[in-house]
Amino acid sequence: MAAIYRTHARPLWRALGRLGVPPAAVEDALHELFIVVQRRLPEFEGRSALRTWLYAIAIRIARRFRERARRDSFEPAQEWPSQASGPDTALLEAEALRLLDALLAELDETKREVFVLHEVEELSAPQIAAILEVNVNTVYSRLREAKKAFARAHARRRFLGKDVR
């Protein structure tokens, strides 16, 4: 269990945040995820990769936390604590992450999940299909639409000169 945590905690933390888990709840969501993993690990049959199984759990937990956030009005996602090389780098990273979170917030949930899993977490379409329990063609369709929506949102922000502060 410790090896699984060391290997997967950081990317799962990032994914939970990008999937819309509020900043104040990302750590709780990650803990909940690993509680589920600990409880269900004996049932894991290896029909999919461990990483795929973990992301499937993360998706379900993120959905629950987003629903809670809608009821409780939390803030957008946060990042795994950074070890940036300096304050300038940390500031640029923080601004880029705020922009990413703002753009992701404009996507509907199904597109956001596919976009984050593919573009941020670099999972393949078949892996995403297994995680979301949908057809691979559905993943490709959602991803195509998500990329269009993301690009439109980004272009709109650039055109309007909106910053994320």
102-153 per-position pLDDT tens digit? 888 889 999 999 999 999 899 999 999 999 999 999 999 999 999 999 999 8
pTM of the full structure: 0.72
- pLDDT score for 157: 81
Please report, for the chain, the start and end positions of each structural domain, with discontinuous segments joined by +. 2-79+87-160
- pLDDT score for 74: 43
Write down how long the chain is: 165
Nearest CA to 80 out of 149, 16, 33, 137 is that of 16
Helix (H) or strand (E) holding 132: helix 125-132
Write the burial class of residue 164 (CB in 10 Å: 0-12 exposed, 13-18 middle, 19+ buried): middle
Q: Tell which CATH classification among 3.40.50.300, 3.30.1360.180, 1.10.10.10, 2.20.25.90 matches the domain 2-79+87-160.
A: 1.10.10.10
